[in-house]
Structure 1
Amino acid sequence: MRKLILGLFGILAAHAALAAPQLDKLTLPKGFHVAVYSDQVPNAREIALGAKGTVFVGSNSAGKVYALADSKGDGRADKVRVIASGLKLPVGVAFKNGDLYISAVSKILVLRDIENHLDDPPKPDVIYDKFPTETHHGWKFIAFGPDGKLYVPIGAPCNICDKDQDYAKITRMNADGSGLEDVAFGVRNTVGFDWQPKSKQLWFTDNGRDLMGDDMPSDELNRLTRVGEHFGYPYCHQGDTLDPEFGQGKNCKDYTPPVYKLGNHVAALGLRFYEGSQFPANYHGAIILAEHGSWNRSKKSGYRVMSVHLNGDKVVAYEPLLEGFQQDEKAWGRPADVQPLPDGSLLVSDDLAGAVYRVTYQKP
């Protein structure tokens, strides 16, 4: 427990002293390029796109929500506005019908008609305020599904504990905050999900528990095939390993295994399906995901952006797209989310450097 607490303090300290983006240390596959979209976004986390091209970014300990605008069309935000502040871990942002939805631990807030009021943002309306108040895994990535509902996870309020079905799950609600219902169980802490465009099925990352050693368990890439599926936590990890405490009397076969094991303690966060045409053809339909990076592993893992190439529901390749955020066990950046733009380029948020990057491709 002491190691866990010290690790969390280390994370907060790292965020308090933001590192500058070091693009010269980043590497990408041939033909890909990366540039700074904005370096004025402290604690940059989830990214959402407005109907008029505004890039909205939530934050963690900064307590702010940002609106980024590229009015010149040169691939760099020339204006960064703070449209909400003083919020509690407003990591999640989701845009629908002109309104920006924001997660703030126990609450879901909304800024109405926000793109027409970027210089004079309205006071956030509260549409739901009954989520748990614990901040341990209390920050929330949020997104609207193909069904028009807002999906909101409730992370486990601990490293490992059994809270029945009150925590460690994904819920959804109507856009007005009504009709809350459970969707998936046994999900320790998902901070990234998206829907496969053709199947409309939900795919999500899940962070594995800590304090089982450097190499156990793996973070997960999961796929929801039916409402009510259970993905194992806290009883079974990575689909095949019973928990030393809570796994007694359980069987991993009773739970849905991950589609793919992403790696030990890589802290897989935001993910999106890439449907653009700028990247090479083999990226079309692939999942792009951000690995925030380990915090308590003796040798760092993660700290990169990965591409997950699929054949149907099977992973056929899992490859780096953007890496170099840490060298010699020292990190200057931590990817948190990814978001394709209409032109086919890709935004990547970095909450350690307080920046958003833009990845582009030109055929060599």
Structure 2
Amino acid sequence: MRPALHFMVSAVRRMFVLGIVLLAGASALRALATLPLDQVRLPPGFRIDLVTDDVPGARAMAMSPSGTLFVGSLSEGKVYAVSDPLGGKPRVRVVANGLRAPAGVAFRDGSLYASSVSKIVRLDNIESRLDDPPAPVVVSDRFPTEAHHGWKFIAFGPDGYLYVPVGAPCNVCAPDENRYANIMKMKPDGSDLQVVARGVRNTVGFDWHPATRELWFTDNGRDRMGDDVPDDELNRATAAGQHFGYPYCHAGNVADPEYGSKRQCSEFVPPVARLGAHVAALGMRFYTGTQFPPAYRNSVFIAEHGSWDRSEPSGYRVVSVALDGSGKAVRQEVFAQGWLRGRKPWGRPADVLVAPDGSLLVSDDLAGAIYRIRYTP
């Protein structure tokens, strides 16, 4: 090839490559522009920013003491690690894949625990191996295989046990209460599996009160009873083995059409708060930070994923529930909303997590995003 021709070909090739890079950059900018965060409405003094939109199907979150954010997902069986999520230059890696709906994650003693429908697995020394993650080790495979309500939020409690919910394998039915529709716990090695709460249709979020250490959890109400019945619930477990009503009673005061005649609502623990029908209340956390105004201290933040079968959509927001000193809900407010445009959502909050600096992280499985809400008056 003659030198002049070679130079022209090389120049064209460089221009082509540069064009590819510029197009990729423009595509990334367009992708960010498709998340209209300016439509998210917050109380005065708060702002919301995008941490990353590179976590497809983002669900439950857990953060290590050194600041790595781990995110479960419903996308191709993947679990993600987000390095430096609060520093402005997050890096996202896949640390596990091929799992069955690994929605839940928990971190303890250097190991990442992830849920699967019928298993809990563990990835040891994970933060030293983010670029070359270890093969997951099965901690327990003793859970049901049904996918219906089989996605599991998991978390370690103050007692050192890993808490694992098992949803009802149906909309409404009466399964074995020691096997389904409950919350269980086990030691980190999978031993000593025991039932903590029964009559829980499908909880996808729980936390422990900062002062009392009592377990609190959301629960999704049944479908096919109309637009406005029954409510999703915020519950409080004051003792092990309590029953919260399913399938006989919903939201503390609604007898089930099929099973309600068999037991009375008065026999069960009523919810602390009724959250609205079909809002799909998922992840919840107590606010333990100091960045937000004092009125939010020890209040509950709940991610409402949003309805799928209501004639007028509900949910698609983050709400806060204020409690008094006795644990009674005294105020329920919409904290963040705007992910629903008309009848069409562009995002669906799935979990919330209080970051070490007191900001609130919100996962969004529809947009594949993690957001950060800060108080900046």
Structure 1 length as normaliser, TM-score?
Answer: 0.93
Amino acid at match of 2:63: L
Pairing partner for 2:101 from 82, 86, 89 = 89
The runs of 5 or more residues in structure 2 that have no matched partner are: 1-31
Does 2:238 match 1:225? yes
d(CA) in 2 for partners of 1:143, 1:131: 16
Is 1:194 matched up with 2:216? no
Partner residue, 2:114? 102
Tell me which of 57, 82, 91 is aligned to 1:79: 91
**TM-score (norm: length of structure 2):** 0.90
Please state which structure has a larger fraction of its residues in helix: 2
1:278 is matched with which residue? 291
Q: Distance in 1 between matches of 2:231 and 2:278?
A: 6
The CA deviation string for residues 166-204 of structure 1, in whole angstroms up to 9 with x for no partner, is 210000000001110000000000000000011000000
2:106–2:114: 8 Å Cα contact kept in structure 1?
A: yes
| Aligned AA (2:353) | Q
Paired residue secondary structure (2:284)? strand
Match of 2:82 among 64, 68, 87: 68
**How far 1:237 sits from its partner (Å)?**
0.6
Is 2:230–2:250's contact at 8 Å kept on the other side of the alignment?
yes
Provide the rounded CA distance (Å) in 2 between the counterparts of 1:67 and 1:321.
Answer: 27
Does the CA contact (< 8 Å) of 2:347 and 2:365 recur in 1? yes
Picking from 352, 357, 361, the partner of 2:371 is 357
Equivalent residues of 1:19, 1:332 under 8 A apart: no
Question: Is 1:215 paired with 2:228?
Answer: yes
Counterpart secondary structure, 1:282: helix
Percentage of pairs with the same residue: 60
Partner of 2:347: 333
Q: Contact conserved, 2:248 with 2:262, CA < 8 A, in 1?
A: no
Distance 2:245 2:306 in 1: 23
Query: 1:222, CA displacement in angstroms?
Result: 0.2
Counterpart-to-counterpart distance in 2, 1:209 and 1:147: 31
Q: Which residue in 1 is equivalent to 2:9? A: none
Structure with larger Rg:
2
Rounded to whole Å, the distance in 2 between the matches of 1:322 and 1:69 is: 25
| Counterpart-to-counterpart distance in 2, 1:119 and 1:89 | 22
Question: Which position in structure 2 is the counterpart of 1:345?
Answer: 359
Letter of the structure 2 residue corresponding to residue 67 of structure 1: A
Q: Is the 8 A contact 1:299 1:329 kept in 2?
A: yes
Is 1:139 paired with 2:151? yes
Instruction: Map Cα deviations across residues 89-114 of structure 1 (whole Å, 9 max, x no partner).
Output: 00000001111100001000000011
In structure 2, distance between residues paired with 1:63 and 1:150: 21
Helix, strand or coil at the partner of 1:301: coil
Alignment RMSD: 1.3
Q: Within 2, Cα distance between the matches of 1:114 and 1:123?
A: 10
Would you say how many aligned residue pairs link Structure 1 and Structure 2? 344
1:152 aligns with 2:164: yes
SS of equivalent residue, structure 2 residue 295: helix
Shift of 1:249: 2.9
Amino acid at match of 1:309: A
Shift of 1:85: 0.7
State how far apart, in whole Å, the 2-side matches of 1:327 and 1:351 are.
Answer: 17
Deviation of 1:77 after TM superposition, in Å, equals: 4.6
**In the TM superposition, what is the alpha-carbon distance from 1:21 to its structure 2 partner?**
2.1
Pairwise CA distance, 1:61: 3.5
Matches within 5 A, 1:166-315: 166-312=179-325, 313-315=327-329
CA distance in 1, matches of 2:119, 2:208: 24
**SS in structure 2 at match of 1:253:** helix
Which structure 1 segments of 5+ residues have no match? 1-17
- 2:73 corresponds in structure 1 to 59
1:125 to 120, 137, 156: 137
SS in 2 for 1:152: strand
